[in-house]
Structure 1
């Protein structure tokens, strides 16, 4: 059911069935978060029920969830000091504009100011303080009374045990699992034999109610209101006071609340927060718009379910429920055997999802995923969709276990199952074509004319078993292949010859070392300066490279040992050994091991490069002098000019280069006050380093 199907309830029987379904879903949603419906489905169901009741007021059932806080499904035995209400929802910019116009019409004047803040996707709680000390924590329950969850206080970050002022007050806010806390919680749960949480909301709800677990899951509190403080405070001022008392608020995040004077400012801030959604460290399911003035709020008042002075502009759900139809097993270029879920097509935020990432075999087993299960699928922004958890309560008995491959699905050889990620025992040799195609790519060795079709020819002819063999190909060997004439042969040999002199970071990246990619290859090359120095490094030395750390360093060392025959083979063909990195401050420190960096672009320690000390993110389509550069080439330019390239905007970012169609990253940078340059402005700044 979608938002467009509100008129689908045409008979009393349809209506009664929808009410029962909504009540069950609300009980799960507001209970432990384990709703059998996606957020969009639940919202649409509630809209359908509301539409039917508006058309047939004499048929409204007593158990209908409309007009009730938390859908009337939750409860508790500790009364709230003041009713703890829900929010009404709107689902588009037009609906938001109509709501605000209606509020101003009822007030008889324009709203003096608005406050726009993120709608956090967690569990609402009330935290009571006596003389500034935390006394009791309650769930929202049915709005009139909630459950006592004070036992969870020690695990809730951002909710202080003592306020900065010894006052009696009740803080109201949301408790949630950040993305990192969610992943950590599921690792702990699977280690202790428990079923992973389906999504962060269910994780927060379950964790707050849990007692006597053999492990500790941390959560995070965000305050958004209070009972017992100055009632004449504007909402923006109230949030500032809550932060001064020591409570965590969304003011510390890129999606921080903003006071807006006009509806246009409100619209812009709603769009900004929505654009930030995928990059936030926690989940949001909408944006809340509130009248900021205390007088406006008092005059507007509240209904039985929600205040009239606030509304939630809901965003498209990131979690949807669909059916797992099958599992495909594929082999990557390093021999990793990866699983992919085949799904009943489902629309998530305007994108039809039919495939999604699955977990490693051990995780699939712990989650007890089965073919035929209805499953939660998560997708945010450009994140690759992934299957999170099954709806075990909806099983019919016809579901089937997922069958793991007993041999490599590509070559039939044995599979190494000693690690979490299974791997063909032939490693890279299992996927020689994929390894060659990857190495020849534009951001690696950039061998023009060596695409997949040509790579298949070379491998099947026995001329190439790895990338080193490319550098021993002869004119006669290539001419003997089908569709290889004099011109194409000469062009390919010339491109291969040019590839011998690629910068060290590209040669290293072409190896496809697990735990590295283009960015990490640049950092490693800049740090060590030569292939000899990289090969001589132990795990401790590698761990000193920014972003590697101890665990990844061990993987890279093991990979380099595994690649030793290939590296030796490349050395005999003069590839990689004589190549040094043409950017030198970090590499110069490693000159004692292997060869020092040199070349016309090398920077000496202490030299004044134009991007020295800058953390730079590039987004959008480049124009002007940078139009021909790929994203990887842009990142190389950043680092040649002394900066550090990054793919995501954070508080550590110091500069954003925003090209055409720059989206959420630009919005986030502007929110954080990070300088933004056009491609032309950036090109002027690094003109001496342009290729």
Structure 2
């Protein structure tokens, strides 16, 4: 069809333009009919921008079927008239385009915009919810902007859209219906259980579910209001809403009991300058990957009712609001193959090999597939066009195949019959398949992990050296490291006296590492660095951990019933390795930790209290978050070492800022976490100030 640019498909001639209009029309029709589409959101946007660019240069060739200038691309229809047209939004894609748009708006109203409302552009389906005397009577899609489809059958399945308001007012709420990440996973699980194909993404899931009337099952969705309008018989409320700033309308909506984005990390914010708008756009973009729902941009609106009235609206979009679109985090590409990799604990994990595609500023060639049951549930086949999702640093994942693009040439994915690493049998009794040899299948990976900086921190013991030790028969597990002798090491290639002595010294230091690091080195499935620290600090020594049953383990913060049972089973399996470590003199206690009381001495809540709540430690009862680059005395500490330091000083380390955060240690380039802490009024300390606060707990080498 034509070459791609950063903003649009380039259409070379009349035939390419006609083909593009047909493709865009089919994609929009499929999306608004069933929630499915042959194009991902980014591809559709690029195609429509290319069509618009061609029409601007060749206005005499404009086709009636063109999606430009039409709400929903002209694909949606409806038979329920809207009280006020329900328009789409125009888009900008850069700071420069946004500045140009604001200048145009201010020229139109002949004055600076007094205030801006900045809020998330939720990735869902626009609807109008009509309440009469406080009772929800009708739910209508946007349709073509002038009339929509009645979907009132969905009332009762949408979280955040109460059937009765807090006051008996007559009002129309406008907002987005979407699926949160959790709701999407649940919807696909229920859908596949009933023989349906999984939804490609949450947006399509919400669109298809909202219209479905005769399903044998129901799935939950969520509503976020972005505005409200008076209805014909709204009385005094009509005059009130007409004069309120947009931000106050949202507050009024929330007060009536309707869900808004106010209680999320990307809550609407009112600012007065373009620079403040840009700053908030950057903050929301940085938070995007961690949100429990999808956004594809930020909406910026003139906040005052007077500014909105004077700006007016076009046939497709209001002139007082704009959508600042973010880079796409999901694209459609082809599934070329599946690789089966064996992890350090023997878990056999599938990985999708993809036709490379650019997503969110990076090229994606692989994606996670979780487990064989996941492949079966999603009905994935080799050659499928699949929807791939990636946000921030999160590993890309496949949502589902785009079933309507299948040609019939797709092939089933073959599951391994023997371990791909060693050829042994596979234990398929659980969802995650595992080599029957467990850790023995990947000795090198297991030992290298145990020697890593955040575990035993054995300097000089990289993967190459571990391979050498394993091949020489000196190491069968990481406990064997503590029985290595100088003479046998000197007999290995490239092991001189200096490197041998240095390695033995590092192993000697590792023998004195605290229990939390030793436990982490064991690689117990379902635990990592922070969980290992919590377990070690709660039980204080290895004997108590090994003696604990699943019920006792659940007293540790973050361990539920399933994880507790898995940890108990893992420790039984690891018993011979733990015995070898004990015999080698490896530390099996956690410094500063107090063992839990015996049953009956104190209640469960007291027993689970953080160490140090007797008032003797500087961070007693505090939840501490660390962000940015540390300087001064803390400069050389890893994030794991910082978290260990916090917990030794009586605090609890966390990775996210919330109302429960007591202190944020903010280094250089602290970013969005510092902004959120400021908004919540959380205490913020520079690295030097924090180092002074916990000076008595700093490592001696610092």
Band of TM-score, shorter chain: over 0.9
Q: Distance in 2 between matches of 1:159 and 1:54?
A: 42
The structural deviation recorded for 1:185 is 2.3
Q: Which residue of 2 aligns with 1:320?
A: 331
CA contact (8 A) 2:537 2:611 kept: no
Deviates more, 1:527-536 or 1:481-490: 481-490
Q: Which residue of 2 aligns with 1:633?
A: 641
Q: Which residue of 2 aligns with 1:112?
A: 114
Partner of residue 430 from structure 2, selected from 416, 419, 427: 419
Q: Which residue of 1 aligns with 2:692?
A: 684
**Matched residue of 1:428: which SS?**
helix
Q: Which residue of 2 aligns with 1:598?
A: none
Q: Which residue of 1 aligns with 2:235?
A: none
The structural deviation recorded for 1:641 is 1.2
Q: Distance in 2 between matches of 1:394 and 1:648?
A: 40
Deviates more, 1:184-193 or 1:404-413: 184-193
Q: Structure 1 segments of 4 or more deviating over 4 A? A: 590-593, 602-605
Q: Which residue of 2 aligns with 1:218?
A: 220
Partner of residue 152 from structure 1, selected from 140, 151, 154: 154
**Matched residue of 2:156: which SS?**
helix
Alignment of 1:24-103 (within 5 A): 24-103=26-105
Q: Distance in 2 between matches of 1:31 and 1:319?
A: 21
Deviates more, 1:289-298 or 1:681-690: 681-690
Q: Which residue of 2 aligns with 1:329?
A: 340
The structural deviation recorded for 1:625 is 0.6
Partner of residue 355 from structure 2, selected from 341, 344, 354: 344
The structural deviation recorded for 1:604 is 4.8
The structural deviation recorded for 1:94 is 0.7
TM-score (norm 2): 0.94
The structural deviation recorded for 1:124 is 0.8
Partner of residue 266 from structure 2, selected from 239, 255, 265: 255
Q: Are residues 301 and 279 of structure 1, via their aligned partners in 2, closer, same or farther at CA, if it must alter by over 3 Å?
A: same
Q: Distance in 2 between matches of 1:655 and 1:233?
A: 37
Q: Which residue of 1 aligns with 2:516?
A: 505
Q: Which residue of 2 aligns with 1:624?
A: 632
**Matched residue of 1:231: which SS?**
helix
Q: Which residue of 1 aligns with 2:291?
A: 280
Alignment of 1:130-149 (within 5 A): 130-149=132-151
Alignment of 1:439-588 (within 5 A): 439-576=450-587, 579-584=588-593, 587-588=595-596
CA contact (8 A) 1:276 1:668 kept: no
1:183 aligns with 2:185: yes
The structural deviation recorded for 1:373 is 1.4
**Matched residue of 2:688: which SS?**
helix
The structural deviation recorded for 1:603 is 6.0
**Matched residue of 1:81: which SS?**
coil
Q: Are residues 674 and 187 of structure 1, via their aligned partners in 2, closer, same or farther at CA, if it must alter by over 3 Å?
A: farther
Q: Distance in 2 between matches of 1:297 and 1:271?
A: 25
TM-score (norm 1): 0.95
CA contact (8 A) 1:528 1:591 kept: no
Q: Which residue of 2 aligns with 1:8?
A: 10
Alignment of 1:195-206 (within 5 A): 195-206=197-208
Q: Distance in 1 between matches of 2:546 and 2:490?
A: 36
Tell me how many residue pairs correspond in the alignment.
680
Q: Are residues 368 and 323 of structure 1, via their aligned partners in 2, closer, same or farther at CA, if it must alter by over 3 Å?
A: same
CA contact (8 A) 2:343 2:442 kept: yes
**Cα offsets for 1:219-267 (capped at 9, x unmatched):** 1111111110421111011111111111111111121111111111211
Q: Are residues 532 and 214 of structure 1, via their aligned partners in 2, closer, same or farther at CA, if it must alter by over 3 Å?
A: farther
Q: Are residues 7 and 379 of structure 1, via their aligned partners in 2, closer, same or farther at CA, if it must alter by over 3 Å?
A: closer
Q: Distance in 2 between matches of 1:567 and 1:560?
A: 9
Deviates more, 1:269-278 or 1:305-314: 269-278
Q: Distance in 2 between matches of 1:403 and 1:74?
A: 41
Q: Are residues 309 and 621 of structure 1, via their aligned partners in 2, closer, same or farther at CA, if it must alter by over 3 Å?
A: same
Query: Please, which runs of 5 or more residues in structure 1 have no aligned partner?
Result: 594-601
Q: Which residue of 1 aligns with 2:605?
A: none
**Matched residue of 1:141: which SS?**
coil
The structural deviation recorded for 1:590 is 6.4
The structural deviation recorded for 1:85 is 0.8
Q: Distance in 2 between matches of 1:175 and 1:669?
A: 29
Q: Are residues 221 and 661 of structure 1, via their aligned partners in 2, closer, same or farther at CA, if it must alter by over 3 Å?
A: same
Q: Distance in 1 between matches of 2:399 and 2:659?
A: 29
Q: Distance in 1 between matches of 2:118 and 2:695?
A: 41
Q: Distance in 2 between matches of 1:92 and 1:76?
A: 34
The structural deviation recorded for 1:6 is 3.8
Q: Are residues 360 and 335 of structure 1, via their aligned partners in 2, closer, same or farther at CA, if it must alter by over 3 Å?
A: same
Deviates more, 1:388-397 or 1:307-316: 388-397
**Matched residue of 1:355: which SS?**
strand
Q: Distance in 2 between matches of 1:7 and 1:506?
A: 53
Deviates more, 1:2-11 or 1:276-285: 2-11
Q: Distance in 1 between matches of 2:209 and 2:9?
A: 38
Q: Are residues 690 and 657 of structure 1, via their aligned partners in 2, closer, same or farther at CA, if it must alter by over 3 Å?
A: same
Q: Are residues 673 and 348 of structure 1, via their aligned partners in 2, closer, same or farther at CA, if it must alter by over 3 Å?
A: farther
Q: Which residue of 2 aligns with 1:597?
A: none
1:269 aligns with 2:277: no
**Cα offsets for 1:570-599 (capped at 9, x unmatched):** 2222224xx3111325x4546999xxxxxx
The structural deviation recorded for 1:639 is 0.6
**Matched residue of 1:197: which SS?**
coil
Q: Are residues 655 and 215 of structure 1, via their aligned partners in 2, closer, same or farther at CA, if it must alter by over 3 Å?
A: farther
Q: Distance in 2 between matches of 1:361 and 1:626?
A: 44
